[in-house]
Copies of this chain bind each other. A is one copy, B any other.
C-alpha cells in the first residue's frame, strides 16, 4: 500500500549524489537508484576511487564518480553515507555546496565490541540532528538506516523487501524522500517522525545487527497497518 496520496511529488528526474559512496551502504543505494533510472553520482574524497565504485555497480546500474564537493554541488538531492567518524568534518567542509538542498542522512553512530553493536552517544542527539546543526541552509532528512548493504548489492535480489522510515521536520522534504524510497523496487517510504526522534532509528541498527547474527538473516522492517 502506498503511504502517499495524490500529492506525492514526481521525483523521477532528480539526480542523486552519495557522499561516501564508496562504502557498501553508499554503493548499495547507488546501485538501486541507478537501476530505478536516476542519475547517480558517487562521491569520495578521491575522485578516482569514486569512479571505481561507480564502475562496480553491476549490470544495468550506471553511475559516475566525483569528489565529494563536486557531488554536493551537482546533485539535486544528496545522501550522506560516510562513516560516522568522518560525518562531522565532511559536512562542515561542504556547507556551501549543500545549501538549499535536501540532505538525506543515513549514518548510524554505532560502536562494536565482543558483545556486538551498540549505539554511540551523540552530542546533538543523533547523526541527523548533527547534520541539521552543521547545515542550517539545507533541509536534513533521516532515512535509509536499516537497508542491508548486502541485499542492495546482491544481483540475485530484485525486490528490496522493506520499509524505509523517513524522518524530518519539513513535510515537503520528507514527502520527496519517501517518494525516492518508493522508486526502489520493493521498498516503501514511510514517514517516521521528526528529527528529534532520529536517534532511536539510527540506534535500532544495532538491534538489527543482533537479529542478523541470531537468525543468520538480513533483517529489515515493515510497518504494519500503514
Contact = CB atoms under 8 A, between A and B. Distances in A.
A201 B165 CA distance: 15
Interface in A2-20: 3
* A interface majority secondary structure: mixed
Within the oligomer, what is the number of copies of this chain? 2
B192 A211 contact: yes
Interface magnitude class on chain A:
35 or more
A194 to B, nearest CB: 6
A180 B193 CA distance: 30
Interface of A: 3, 115-119, 161-162, 165, 167, 190-194, 196-197, 199-201, 203-204, 206-207, 209-211, 214-215, 217-226
Contact of A200 (B191, B200, B217): B200
Given A165-B207, A194-B210, A200-B200, 14 more contacts: A3-B215, A115-B194, A115-B196, A116-B194, A190-B211, A191-B214, A192-B207, A193-B210, A217-B226, A218-B225, A219-B224, A219-B225, A219-B226, A221-B223
